[in-house]
Structure 1
Amino acid sequence: MSLSEDKIQINIAMIGAGYWGPNLIRNFVEMSRAKLVAVADLDINRLDAIQRRYPTIKMTTTDYRELFRLENLDAVVIATPPTTHRDIARECMLHGLHVMVEKPLTLSVEESQELVDLAKERNLKLMVGHTYEYNAAIRAIKDIIESGEIGEVYYVDSVRTNLGLFSNKINVMWDLAPHDISVLHFLFGEMPNQISATGKANIVPNIHDIVYMHMDFPSGISAHLRASWLDPQKVRQLTVVGSKKMLVFDDVASLEKIKIYDKGVETLPYTETYKEFHLSYRYGDIVIPNISFVEPLRVECEHFVDSILLDSAPQTDGINGLRVVSVLEAAQRSLDNQGKMMPIELDEKYTT
């Protein structure tokens, strides 16, 4: 869908107003460059509540297909269960609409490739809600790593836990790990070579609520991820260990989200005094960078709107989402095969 060069506002419809939908609705309603004109959801009571709170939304419906009858609709935002992403996104693009879809893009590489190819064929924007790539702290960490301050990166450890919310459709890995996988790709600009995953379904049969993942990258970096719906604490923590310094990102912390530790270990040269293996441990200062906070979701929503108005490629476009799904699919194969290390399988045209 092409927009007139002088258009300064786009019309958006929301599909799905459940757990995450209200946050998206709030952001789009508050934006000057977007007008949220309609919301679709299966729950009529939820729709009534939304229309009472946001009277500027002119249309609500329990059938998202009714949105296709709206004149001058430019784009849709999809926040429905992941099992529905492929069908809804495909249908919207076939009706000429730009699409932003919550993570994960779909539940298979094949379905994600289909959406990426369709968006290219129809000259439409396809964007995935990898919100952490719009987080000022994560962007600061990328700058710190690229500056060389922490030295050669040895490994990354990421923990994402909470008590719930359980799903009976997808496991915790597909629910939570897309964030961590997208962050790793954003920070290091490379796909892992291989991945292994183990876990357990404690509550819902055959739906893993705790998963441990290990992945290796071409540069030599290794990453370890833990995702759990069955934990007493909400943890959103990323640790990056380098040859010079170490860094910890705590997204739950209200103020001190990044801490840089001047700590490390060095191998001392051989001497007659120390004929055996000898190490030196360094304990230096802790630096807490000052990060100006802007709600990452607001940045993400504005970026989607700007990509349409300016006809620019979204940072977390369909290919970005496809790459994350390819890692998750390989991890699922490993999970189904007792943790066997699995290669990441993705057509080369989507990796470069």
Structure 2
Amino acid sequence: MLDACSDRIHEPAGQAVSDGCLVSPKIREATVVSREPIGRPFVASLIGFGYWGPNLARNLSVSRDFNLKYISDVSSDRLESARHLYGTTVCLKDPVATFSDPEVDVVLVATPASTHFELCREALEHGKHVLVEKPLTLDSISSQALVQLAKRRGLILAVDHTFVFTGAVRKLRELVACGELGVLRYFDSIRVNLGVVQSDIDVLWDLAVHDLSILQFVTDRVPVAVSATGSAHEPSTQMSTAYMTLFYDDDFIAHIGTSWMSPVKVRRSLLAGSRQMVVYDDQDVGQQVKLFDSGIETSSSPVVDHGRLVQTRVGDMLAPKVDTREALTVELEHLAACLRGEEELIVPGESGLDIVCVLEAATRSLDQHGSPSQVGGRGA
């Protein structure tokens, strides 16, 4: 059945900025930057060599599409580590020189979220394409400013929502797109681990951003309202455990649980439809995606539930094969193809803006002890 529907799968469309804060990807125009092939690897400058930067550097260093010319970081120790690993790369504390280097094509930003806006703005103003770690920025106003700046300059602004490039998540999108699940009913996800506690963002902005990007990519939908609750646990002053419920313009509903206070690492999601249900477990290396032919349906049985004849249906479980390549490898290949004008951006700045708008609504709801907050205009 999966093979039969594969020719109906459409590649995710790119997206363009809207007048409002939030617009479904379905009604966006494709984000395409027309560029002539340059016949050489793209010259890259990496800013940040802390938690995520080393992963980007490792992939850039072995990529045929990129030449990692610069690594910048405020820490002398981390720069020394970078010099040891990548001897031909110029290592700097201040990235300013990299912005003015005419050889640099793209800047990759892997720094604390509170620094994203200024670094991305500076790079775009110097004519550089940008790939920035999640979240895009810490508010929708600055996120929209970056989206508009990139559009004016004809530059790529891509957001590193890495899970979108995993084979498992792409398989989820395929199952939804070809109708395997039927009408979507609900999404439930848990993403917990012990740390890493962030100083400038809470657990929703740190962890839930992944589930939001997965949900947006898989369903091509955005919520209309959010309810969020949580608590800050010492020694962290940030919200370290939080729960988010997302409401849509129909019966579909989503729930996301996050925490930095778990002794075990869990990355598990359930997406249920009227026909079938799928479980995605990022930690289950052998069977990350499991498709269940199960559900609740009308029955001729005498068992009555609220005046309706219903029965449960438990069928087979199928674990489809998924692409096991590292997500960053796939993402950088895609970025290079976009820079050459061969592909449309899967996660443009507009997608990052959407996620920021949802997180802003969640923050407002947290401040209101869980009262639902509308997602949309910045004044919502």
Q: TM-score range by the shorter chain?
A: over 0.9
1:16 equivalent in alignment to 2:27: no
**What does 1:256-295 align with in structure 2 at a 5 Å threshold?**
256-269=287-300, 278-295=309-326
The answer to whether the Cα contact below 8 Å between 2:301 and 2:311 also exists between their aligned partners in 1 is: no
Structure 1 position 5, deviation (Å): 3.9
What secondary structure, in the 3-state scheme, does the structure 1 residue paired with 2:287 have?
coil
Q: TM-score, length-normalised on structure 1? A: 0.93
> Which letter maps to 1:47?
L
Quickly say closer, same or farther: Cα 1:145–1:3, change in 2 above 3 A.
closer
1:41 matched residue in structure 2: 73
Quickly say closer, same or farther: Cα 1:206–1:55, change in 2 above 3 A.
closer
**What does 1:1-352 align with in structure 2 at a 5 Å threshold?**
5-57=37-89, 59-204=90-235, 206-269=237-300, 278-310=309-341, 312-346=343-377
What secondary structure, in the 3-state scheme, does the structure 2 residue paired with 1:39 have?
strand
Greater RCO structure (CA 8 Å; 6+ sep): 2
> Which letter maps to 1:124?
L
Q: TM-score, length-normalised on structure 2? A: 0.86
Across the aligned residues of Structure 1 and Structure 2, the Cα RMSD in angstroms comes to 1.9
1:81-120: CA deviations, max 9, x gaps? 0000001100111111111100000000000001001101
Structure 1 position 270, deviation (Å): 7.9
Structure 1 position 66, deviation (Å): 2.1
Structure 1 position 205, deviation (Å): 5.3
Determine the C-alpha separation between the residues in 2 that align with 1:346 and 1:269: 48
**Runs (5+) with no aligned partner, structure 2:** 1-32
Structure 1 position 133, deviation (Å): 1.3
**Runs (5+) with no aligned partner, structure 1:** 348-352
> Which letter maps to 1:246?
M
> Which letter maps to 1:261?
F
The answer to whether the Cα contact below 8 Å between 1:8 and 1:309 also exists between their aligned partners in 2 is: no
Determine the C-alpha separation between the residues in 1 that align with 2:238 and 2:97: 34
The answer to whether the Cα contact below 8 Å between 2:34 and 2:341 also exists between their aligned partners in 1 is: no
The answer to whether the Cα contact below 8 Å between 2:124 and 2:155 also exists between their aligned partners in 1 is: yes
What secondary structure, in the 3-state scheme, does the structure 1 residue paired with 2:57 have?
helix
1:294-320: CA deviations, max 9, x gaps? 111111122222211227542111101
Structure 1 position 340, deviation (Å): 0.7
Structure 1 position 4, deviation (Å): 5.4
Determine the C-alpha separation between the residues in 1 that align with 2:210 and 2:233: 23
What secondary structure, in the 3-state scheme, does the structure 1 residue paired with 2:111 have?
coil
Quickly say closer, same or farther: Cα 1:213–1:66, change in 2 above 3 A.
same
Aligned length: 345
